[in-house]
Amino acid sequence: MSTSKQEWQDSTLSRVTQRFPERREEFQTDSGLGLDTVYTPEDDGAAGSDYNESVGYPGEFPYTRGVQPNMYRGRIWTMRQYAGYATAAATNERYRYLLDNGQTGLSVAFDLPTQIGYDSDHPLAEGEVGKVGVPICSLADMETLFDGIPLDKVSTSMTINATAAVLLCLYIAAGKKQGVSPDQLSGTLQNDILKEYIARGTYAYPPRPSMRLVVDVFKYCAENVPRWNTISISGYHMREAGATATQELAFTFANAIAYVQAAVDAGLPVDDFAPRLSFFFVAQNNLFEEVAKFRAARRLWARIMRDRFGARDPRSMMLRFHTQTAGVTLTAQQPDNNVIRSTVQALAAVLGGTQSLHVNSRDEALSLPTEESAQLSLRTQQILAHESGAADVVDPLGGSWYVENLTDRLESGVLEYIQRIDDMGGAVVAIEDGFQVREIGDAAFRHQREVDENQRTVVGVNQYVTETPPIADLLRVDATAAAEQVERLRTLRRERDNMAVQISLARLADAARSPDANTIPLMMDCVEKYATLGEICEVLRNVFGEYEPAAGL
């Protein structure tokens, strides 16, 4: 619905004055021009122009312009650099370094065995321990990871999915060891298993029992860990696999609909858990499309929650999201170019209103980032926050004819995809049929063909190519780290109370077999007895089975 500018002014100008009364002189351009908190159609002076009410104002439904009225004027986004490698002790040192350099939240990268539920001494873990993240096998590892970092004062994001419930229990238990109660903990658990079947592949169990574990976490945290974001529904990995911006939003929201419906079907009132849902998106190279994508995402989610699920709490309709710059765009050729790519992407996230941000490092096409590269990525965020002016005004690109048009067209394309998935029977059925995988595969093929045929320029790869000397100072994971991790694990098994561990694991198996039982309290008992992640996941594999993708997916 649209109204004339005059009608819009008559009905809303008093609200604007009440919500944004000040021209705060501490926010100025370099020339000393004072800046309002937000700019609206009333500021352009173009009599007779139309203004789409679906754009609205920041902090008001449908939140196109932001979930808070003053956005970064009230609080700068959380600067959360993703990190983890080698051992819990080495990663703890990196966290302390980043916090000392101004990082405002932690983000844990786990190694591949931890992500799929194997201990570091499992045969399938060989060669992967500590390589792409930190190995966490037990409460002892989690205690080391956060040694000296007060968990009641830091917000932690954990990128973990198939084994998310176990890692959450380990984190809660580590907090208790510090004297921090669960209701004092704040952070985010990715816990988004559906996208693993679509794009990422670090699944363990079939989709339906995996969905049960997601809902178990919702229930447990609603009662015991109220400040915790119980899921971060991710479009990032699907976009990294080749999805378009439209597909990223559509498949993310189709998955989100499935999670919300599963929780509602399990008897949870929507407004009891929806305020703790969060999202995770990528910021790609096309600055304006990415800004429009984030704006469309907020509007879509607000309407899905209000109109589809009957949410009444405004917090249930507010889409809050973390953004990471695009790893898939980083090139081994001319790696310094990656600094520019990541800066443009980070700017898109800021202009689009992200709540937290990770900026990738220049050397990540070649290795895990060095300490110096991680610091440069953090400095990129700090310069955007404090020197660029991008954070001084809410939704600075709002009202741009181009951006508003892109926002509307992205929203329309997303809704068409969601309807197709609804017609199939929902996200889980579509995943089992391979729909999302095929769509993303087709988009990835088109993109790569454009690069190969020079229809799409990638600087330093297919255009402007030069011989560039390799980066000399790359991070190398110490070859002895894995052996040390395995020895610590074996020592733990010798020294713990193994009878108590076996009793706890047996109780967890019984709970897993009972559809009405919540598995999380039983997992908590297991981890506090120092049962390992691999042992807990083996119990669940024995009950739930192991996922095997259909041939051809």
Give tens-digit pLDDT for 223-270: 999 999 999 999 999 999 999 999 999 999 999 999 999 999 999 999
Cα 285 to Cα 32, 288, 293, 298, 340: the distances in Å are: 32, 9, 12, 20, 10
Region of 107 on the Ramachandran plot (φ > 0 left; ψ -120 to 50 alpha; else beta): beta
Task: Determine the Cα–Cα distance for residues 479 and 491; give it in Å rounded to an integer.
Answer: 20
Q: Which DSSP helix (H) or strand (E) runs through 443?
A: helix 435-452
- pLDDT recorded at residue 19: 55
Q: What percentage of the chain exceeds 70 in pLDDT? A: 93
Would you say residue 1 has pLDDT above 60?
no
Residue 484: closest CA among 243, 226, 137: 137
Collect all residues with Cβ–Cβ distance below 8 Å to 168 and sequence separation of at least 6.
158, 189, 191, 217, 221, 225, 228, 520
Collect all residues with Cβ–Cβ distance below 8 Å to 419 and sequence separation of at least 6.
none
Would you say residue 352 has pLDDT above 70?
yes
Average pLDDT for 413-421: 98
Average pLDDT for 465-475: 81
Lookup: tokens for 462: 């297919």
Average pLDDT, whole number, for the chain?
Answer: 92
Would you say residue 128 has pLDDT above 90?
yes
For the stretch 11-42, pLDDT in tens is: 444 454 455 545 445 789 999 999 999 998 87
Would you say residue 319 has pLDDT above 80?
yes
Domains of the chain, with CATH numbers?
Answer: 71-452 (3.20.20.240)
Look-up of token digits 């339906």? 208
Task: Determine the Cα–Cα distance for residues 72 and 477; give it in Å rounded to an integer.
Answer: 37
Lowest mean pLDDT among 21-30, 121-130, 477-486, 488-497: 21-30
- pLDDT recorded at residue 14: 45
Band (pLDDT 50/70/90 cuts) for residue 551 is: low
Lookup: tokens for 95: 């966290």
Cα 49 to Cα 43, 44, 292, 399: the distances in Å are: 12, 10, 21, 11
Average pLDDT for 194-204: 94
- pLDDT recorded at residue 529: 98
Quick one: CA dihedral 63, 68, 69, 70, positive or negative? Answer: negative
414 bridge partner residues: none
Which residue type sits at 501? V
Band (pLDDT 50/70/90 cuts) for residue 45 is: low
Collect all residues with Cβ–Cβ distance below 8 Å to 188 and sequence separation of at least 6.
155, 156, 157, 158, 228, 229, 232, 278, 322
Collect all residues with Cβ–Cβ distance below 8 Å to 465 and sequence separation of at least 6.
333
- pLDDT recorded at residue 548: 85
Average pLDDT for 416-420: 98
- pLDDT recorded at residue 9: 46
Task: Determine the Cα–Cα distance for residues 44 and 245; give it in Å rounded to an integer.
Answer: 30
Average pLDDT for 491-508: 98
- pLDDT recorded at residue 122: 97
Task: Determine the Cα–Cα distance for residues 532 and 553; give it in Å rounded to an integer.
Answer: 32
Q: What percentage of the chain exceeds 90 in pLDDT? A: 86
**Backbone phi, then psi, for 160, in 5-degree steps?**
-155, 140
Would you say residue 7 has pLDDT above 70?
no
Would you say residue 279 has pLDDT above 80?
yes
